[in-house]
Amino acid sequence: MAHAAQVGLQDATSPIMEELIIFHDHALMIIFLICFLVLYALFLTLTTKLTNTNISDAQEMETIWTILPAIILVLIALPSLRILYMTDEINDPSFTIKSIGHQWYWTYEYTDYGGLIFNSYMLPPLFLEPGDLRLLDVDNRVVLPVEAPVRMMITSQDVLHSWAVPTLGLKTDAIPGRLNQTTFTATRPGVYYGQCSEICGANHSFMPIVLELIPLKIFEMGPVFAL
Amino acid sequence: MLDVEAQEPPKGKWSTPPFDPRFPNQNQIRNCYQNFLDYHLCLKTRTRRGKSTQPCEYYFRVYHSLCPISWVESWNEQIKNGTFAGKI
């Protein structure tokens, strides 16, 4: 989860998110360099005593400051597209879960084996135990195995919602009448939080998502399923 | 409609619906619906020919894994009432 006043991205829990963090660092460095260059040029322009009322054209400089930004944009676009295609790779999933958005809670369906269906409501403030996270913790978490490709099918029963877990690099809209698929592979166990990311009414801020990722061996023992 | 328990595979055999190249995109609604239709078509055809409907289990497991159960229930209700719009 994010800590208070956090500005940067959360630590990655999936390979795609790791790539996204590296890309973000790369793009942000380019942005900072350009900003500082422009600010420095502006500063020099504003503080110089030199004057020249004779400037007509500067073909060489114009060429450079057209070609160089084009090159910089290509350097940003190539890694970006690489990651975009990486998210679409065919990765034979080993587990499928459905997540259905309602106003204002999520329903999760584990129907590969048997039928486990449950709702996940945010814990109201009065029901929080000491140590629980306000506005983030839920009554029933989504329990999933680590290091197994998981396929999430996301839809909505009423209005638009969005199922997001930043640490896994996931955000997929829950659209009524549509069944969106997203896949991920978690690399480490833990409890990870996300929040509904599409405005959906009065309690849009109060329908969080909590994933509990456990080792595959323990998951296979079936603590999740009442079979 | 066959009983759900009878459709369950032995533990360890069924994992999850594999990637279906007919539906490569993000919106898998057609994947879910097509398998539902295929299951009922398979049942109808094999029952008509007097054969075992065990091979239809595959379609059942795929749509059961992919489709939200509320959709499946409403489709089954429509089939029971004779108002289902699909070709089965």
Those of residues 35-54 in B touching chain A at CB distance below 8 A are: none
Cα separation, A82 vs B86, whole angstroms = 40
Query: What SS3 state is found at A111?
Result: coil
Query: How many Å separate Cα A158 from the centre of its chain?
Result: 23
CATH topology (fold) of B28-81: Arc Repressor Mutant, subunit A (1.10.10)
Q: What is the dihedral of CA B78, B80, B85, B88, to 10 degrees?
A: 140
- Residue B11 vs residue A23, higher pLDDT: A23
* Residue carrying the six token digits 């795929």: B62
- The string of pLDDT tens digits covering residues B62-75 is 999 999 999 999 99
* Per-residue model confidence (pLDDT) at position A226: 44
Contacts of A107 (CB under 8 A, 6+ apart): A99, A100, A117, A118, A119, A120, A157
CB-based contact, A222 to chain B, within 8 Å: no
Q: Are B17 and A98 within 8 A, CB to CB? A: no
Cα separation, A125 vs B11, whole angstroms = 41
Banded model confidence at residue B6, pLDDT cuts 50, 70, 90: very low
Query: How many Å separate Cα A6 from the centre of its chain?
Result: 15
Tokens of A88: 């679409």
* Per-residue model confidence (pLDDT) at position B12: 53
Contacts of A173 (CB under 8 A, 6+ apart): A154, A160, A161, A162, A163, A180, A198
Residue B11, CB-side half-sphere exposure with 13 Å CA sphere: 4
Cα separation, B82 vs A166, whole angstroms = 45
Q: Are A178 and B27 within 8 A, CB to CB? A: yes
Residue A184, CB-side half-sphere exposure with 13 Å CA sphere: 28
* Per-residue model confidence (pLDDT) at position A92: 87
Out of B4, B16, B24, name the one closest to residue A151 (CB): B16
Q: Do the strands A150-156 and A95-102 form a parallel or antiparallel pair, or are they unpaired?
A: parallel
Q: Are B14 and A155 within 8 A, CB to CB? A: no
Q: Are B69 and A111 within 8 A, CB to CB? A: yes
- Which residue on chain A is closest to B62 by alpha carbon? A112
Cα separation, B73 vs B36, whole angstroms = 12
Q: Where are the domains of chain B?
A: 28-81
User: Model-level pTM?
Assistant: 0.88
Q: How many CB atoms lie within 10 A of CB B63?
A: 24
Superfamily, domain A95-221: Cupredoxins -  blue copper proteins (2.60.40.420)
Q: Are A113 and B11 within 8 A, CB to CB? A: yes
* Per-residue model confidence (pLDDT) at position B1: 43
Q: Which residues on B lie below 8 Å from A149 (Cβ)? A: none
Cα separation, B61 vs B39, whole angstroms = 9
Q: Phi/psi of residue B14, each to 5°?
A: -95, 125
Q: Where are the domains of chain A?
A: 15-48+57-88, 95-221
Out of A113, A151, A180, name the one closest to residue B27 (CB): A180
pLDDT in tens, chain A (227 residues): 888 899 999 999 999 999 999 999 999 999 999 999 999 999 999 999 998 888 888 999 999 999 999 999 999 999 999 999 999 898 889 999 999 999 999 999 999 887 889 999 999 999 999 999 999 999 999 999 999 999 999 999 999 999 999 999 999 999 999 999 999 999 999 999 999 999 999 999 999 999 999 998 888 877 655 43
Cα separation, A24 vs A11, whole angstroms = 13
- ipTM for the complex shown: 0.86
- The string of pLDDT tens digits covering residues B32-62 is 999 999 999 999 999 999 999 999 999 999 9
Banded model confidence at residue B14, pLDDT cuts 50, 70, 90: low
Angle between the N-to-C axes of helices B57-66 and B29-48, in degrees from 0 to 180, rounded to the nearest 10: 160
Single-letter amino acid code for the residue at A21: I
Cα separation, A16 vs A170, whole angstroms = 9
Q: Is the peptide bond before A104 cis (omega within 30 degrees of 0)?
A: yes
Tokens of A176: 């009524």
For residues B65 and B36, is the Cβ–Cβ distance under 8 A?
Answer: no
